[in-house]
Structure 1
Amino acid sequence: MIAGIGHDLVNVAQFAQQMQDSNGWRALFSVRELRQCDLRAQAKNDEKALHIAARWAGKEAVIKAWSEALCTINNPYPYTLDNMPWASIEILNDSHGCPRVILSADVHSQLVKSLFSASSECVDSSEHVDSSNR
């Protein structure tokens, strides 16, 4: 089932500049993501910012897909930009080097609850009225 589609583009040069200007971006990524980015940059002999930016685009795409799905069923968003647990939405490469989305248990629970809650289910209720008793 595809509930929503999300995509994102990141200007790597601008992203790299933001990384140099501050260390706040580190809180947006898990230790595993940062480690994979270091290893990939070393293995490919390129900039770490390229790999961090790709993961950021992946996180944004996940949020956009989730938001699109919630919009279609008119459910509220479980997070705001101020309390989004970015590091709990991991973009990690599997053993074949393919990126995968890994959600923490809390975020996964919020995702399931927000997409499959009672408020998103359609219920039809009707009553049978016996007009012969009138």
Structure 2
Amino acid sequence: MNTREGRVGVKGVGVDVVDLGAFAASIAEPGTRFANVFSATERRQARDAAERRGARGDDAQHLGARWAAKEAFIKAWSEALYGQSPPIAPEDVRWPEISVVSDAWGRPAIRLGGRIAEAVRASLGEVQINLSLSHEGDTATAFCVLS
């Protein structure tokens, strides 16, 4: 039996791990590839989370977890389309359209916008995006399930 045919409810799963030391060094570099991957809301929420834990100006841990979430989402979407051509070329992904937001209690969620939202709907229909983030020591991890 093909394991994909046996799934009920789950369309795709993705996980990503980020080395926070390397990530912090990357986002500090002028002209970094991470300069335009986060929305204003993501940057504000990461800054606020860092301030709450007494690390003002050190939002790399929270941005690193958000980057892991974006990557985990892309992997889950890709996995859901196994055997099909990707609806968007990797170089055409507009990263801020995959926005990781937190509710008043700090629980994360992914909000899609723009072309990414349209492409996901066109390729998978309506999906529920389930997300879990964790950071410990020098590592951030994200786990994403599309159902």
TM-score in terms of structure 2 length? 0.73
Q: Residue 90 of structure 2 is aligned with which of 81, 84, 88? A: 81
- Give 1:20's aligned residue: 28
Structure of higher RCO (CA pairs closer than 8 Å, 6+ residues apart): 2
Aligned partner of 2:80 in structure 1 is 69
**Deviation digits for residues 25-77 of structure 1, max 9, x if unmatched?**
12001011011111111111232100000000000000000000001xx3221
Which residue of the other structure, out of 1, 5, 8, is the alignment partner of 2:16? 8
Higher helix share: 1
Unaligned runs of 5+ in 2: 1-8, 126-147
Q: Tell which structure's C-alpha radius of gyration is larger.
A: 1
Deviation, 1:20, is 1.4
Give the 3 Å change call, closer, same or farther, for CA 104–9 of structure 1 in structure 2: same
Among 54, 57, 60, the alignment partner of 1:45 is 54
Q: Aligned to 2:45, which of 33, 36, 52?
A: 36
CA RMSD of aligned residues (A): 1.3
* Contact kept in structure 2, 1:93 and 1:99, CA below 8 Å: yes
Percent of aligned positions that are identical: 33
Alignment of 1:99-110 (within 5 A): 99-110=108-119
In structure 2, the partner of 1:127 is none
Q: How many residues align?
A: 114
